[in-house]
């Protein structure tokens, strides 16, 4: 057995979660969001498993190019759009679709002729996030100018992004949606607004295209509901191995800085996982792991390559035993993220390349 951390990726679970999107929003097309290496799961493998998507969304040009190089033929939307003329050409050469977020991105098209016109492009409208997008007042002019641009063919869509979709029934979500829908109706454009939290809680927001991200990977976007309750299956199970066992005596300090001190004779285990793998250092004295189906605590600071765990409640443990860091119903990524003071998105994205991804196909 391998004695290093491995992220087991269950592509059948990914497909199950995709089907949840289809069940919830049967009348919308699905733009599966696989940016940031599919939230750490492996972008190309995720794209293959999510064949039934109507399109994919990534953040950046380099991500879209990588998908094309891997042979993915679906429409691919670059959510950030592009920021220089050379990148517009690369996008067109690779049949990548753009989101236009500001006037400068539109002016990149001035005076150039692309190898093939851009298709399936989107205009981002500012509705409340105050990050990207055109103001409501500018939308009509922007849409007209893009519609008549020779470098763009086909229909444009109107997109926006919720700032508070994890807060169910928050009035701000209704306000944002109202702005989008009014503009889309006036200009007769397709809409896209709903991310995972909205797909799971706000059917009125579905529009023509939904954009699921985190729910595909089996994590709950809500504080108050678990993935299990939402019928989402964890896609990544992060496992490692116990590489040492020792007994510490009262007063012994464990790990850097002595942040954990034994108050009684205690059996501890050393597990091969650390912040060098992306296991957050914020889990120092906060993390929990699963060993022999028992949830036990992380003791002291997370090191680069290892952690210490409390074996007090475990019997018959041995060096080489498997340890689960997250990704089962009894130890979800959402639980671990909460203990690290962050969200699952961050833990998943920051898992480093040192951790091999091993795929189980559907």
Ligand X SMILES: *Cc1c(COP(=O)(O)O)cnc(C)c1O
> Which residues participate in catalysis according to the annotation?
35, 256
For the chain, what's the residue count?
Answer: 362
Nearest-approach distance from CB 121 to ligand X, in angstroms: 14
Based on the shown chain and the rule CB under 6 A, indicate whether residue 207 belongs to the binding site for ligand X: no
With 0-12 CB in 10 A as exposed, 13-18 as middle and 19+ as buried, what is 280? buried
Rounded Cα distance between 79 and 60, Å, is 7
Determine the residue with CB nearest ligand X. Answer: 213
Nearest-approach distance from CB 49 to ligand X, in angstroms: 17
Torsion of CA 290, 291, 297, 299, to 10 degrees: -130
Q: Which residues pair with 73 in a beta bridge?
A: none
Element (H, E) at 37: helix 35-39
Based on the shown chain and the rule CB under 6 A, indicate whether residue 41 belongs to the binding site for ligand X: no
Rounded Cα distance between 213 and 208, Å, is 17
With 0-12 CB in 10 A as exposed, 13-18 as middle and 19+ as buried, what is 149? middle
Q: Which stretch binds ligand X (CB under 6 A): 115-123, 146-154, 207-215, 325-333?
A: 207-215
| CB-CB contact of 304 with 330 (8 Å) | no
> Of 198 and 314, which CB lies nearer to ligand X in the complex structure?
198
Rounded Cα distance between 239 and 322, Å, is 7
Q: Which stretch binds ligand X (CB under 6 A): 108-116, 143-151, 210-218, 349-357?
A: 210-218
With 0-12 CB in 10 A as exposed, 13-18 as middle and 19+ as buried, what is 130? exposed
Based on the shown chain and the rule CB under 6 A, indicate whether residue 230 belongs to the binding site for ligand X: no
Map tokens 């689960």 to a residue: 324
Based on the shown chain and the rule CB under 6 A, indicate whether residue 300 belongs to the binding site for ligand X: no
Based on the shown chain and the rule CB under 6 A, indicate whether residue 213 belongs to the binding site for ligand X: yes
Based on the shown chain and the rule CB under 6 A, indicate whether residue 195 belongs to the binding site for ligand X: yes
> Of 56 and 275, which CB lies nearer to ligand X in the complex structure?
56
Strands 6-10 and 357-360: parallel
Residues near ligand X (CB under 6 A), total: 12
Q: Which stretch binds ligand X (CB under 6 A): 141-149, 208-216, 240-248, 282-290?
A: 208-216
Nearest-approach distance from CB 192 to ligand X, in angstroms: 8
Nearest-approach distance from CB 211 to ligand X, in angstroms: 4
From residue 146 to residue 165, what is the string marking binding to ligand X with x (rule CB under 6 A)?
---------------x----
Restricting to residues 21-40, which ones interact with ligand X according to CB under 6 A?
33, 35
- 277: which 2 tokens? 């793998």
Using CB under 6 A, pick the residue from 105, 196, 240, 280 that binds ligand X: 196
> Of 33 and 183, which CB lies nearer to ligand X in the complex structure?
33
Based on the shown chain and the rule CB under 6 A, indicate whether residue 211 belongs to the binding site for ligand X: yes
Rounded Cα distance between 45 and 15, Å, is 12
Map tokens 């493998």 to a residue: 45
Restricting to residues 49-108, which ones interact with ligand X according to CB under 6 A?
79
Binding site for ligand X (CB under 6 A): 33, 35, 79, 161, 195-197, 211-214, 221
């Amino acid at each position: 057995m391998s004695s290093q951390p491995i992220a087991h990726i269950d592509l059948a679970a990914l497909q199950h979660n995709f089907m949840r999107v289809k069940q919830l929003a049967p009348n919308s097309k699905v733009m599966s969001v696989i940016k940031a290496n599919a939230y750490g799961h492996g972008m190309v493998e995720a794209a293959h498993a999510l064949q039934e998507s109507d399109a994919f969304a990534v953040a950046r040009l380099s991500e879209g190019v990588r998908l094309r190089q891997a042979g993915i033929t679906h429409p691919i939307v670059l959510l950030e759009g592009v920021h220089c003329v050379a990148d517009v050409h690369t996008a067109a050469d690779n049949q990548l679709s753009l989101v236009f977020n500001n006037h400068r991105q539109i002016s990149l098209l001035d005076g150039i002729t692309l190898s093939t016109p851009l298709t399936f492009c989107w205009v981002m409208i500012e509705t409340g996030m105050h990050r990207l997008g055109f103001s409501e007042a500018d939308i009509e002019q922007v849409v007209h100018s893009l519609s008549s641009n020779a470098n763009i063919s086909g229909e444009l869509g109107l997109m926006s992004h919720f700032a508070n979709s994890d807060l169910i029934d928050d009035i701000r979500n209704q306000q944002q949606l109202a702005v989008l829908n009014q503009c889309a109706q006036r200009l007769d454009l397709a809409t896209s607004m709903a991310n995972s939290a909205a797909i799971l809680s706000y059917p009125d927001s579905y529009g023509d295209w939904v954009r699921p991200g985190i729910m595909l990977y089996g994590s709950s976007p809500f504080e108050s509901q678990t993935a299990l309750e939402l019928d989402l299956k964890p896609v990544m199970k992060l496992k490692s191995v116990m590489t040492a066992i020792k007994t510490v005596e009262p007063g012994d300090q464990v790990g850097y800085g002595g942040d954990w001190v034994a108050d009684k004779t205690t059996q501890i285990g050393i597990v091969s996982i650390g912040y060098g793998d992306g296991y957050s250092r914020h889990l120092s004295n906060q993390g929990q792991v699963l060993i022999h189906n028992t949830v036990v605590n992380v003791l002291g600071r997370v090191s680069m390559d290892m952690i210490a765990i409390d074996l007090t409640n475990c019997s018959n443990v041995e060096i080489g035993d498997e340890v689960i860091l997250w990704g089962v119903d009894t130890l979800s990524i959402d639980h671990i993220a909460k203990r690290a003071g962050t969200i699952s998105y961050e833990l998943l994205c920051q898992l480093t390349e040192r951790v091999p991804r091993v795929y189980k196909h559907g």
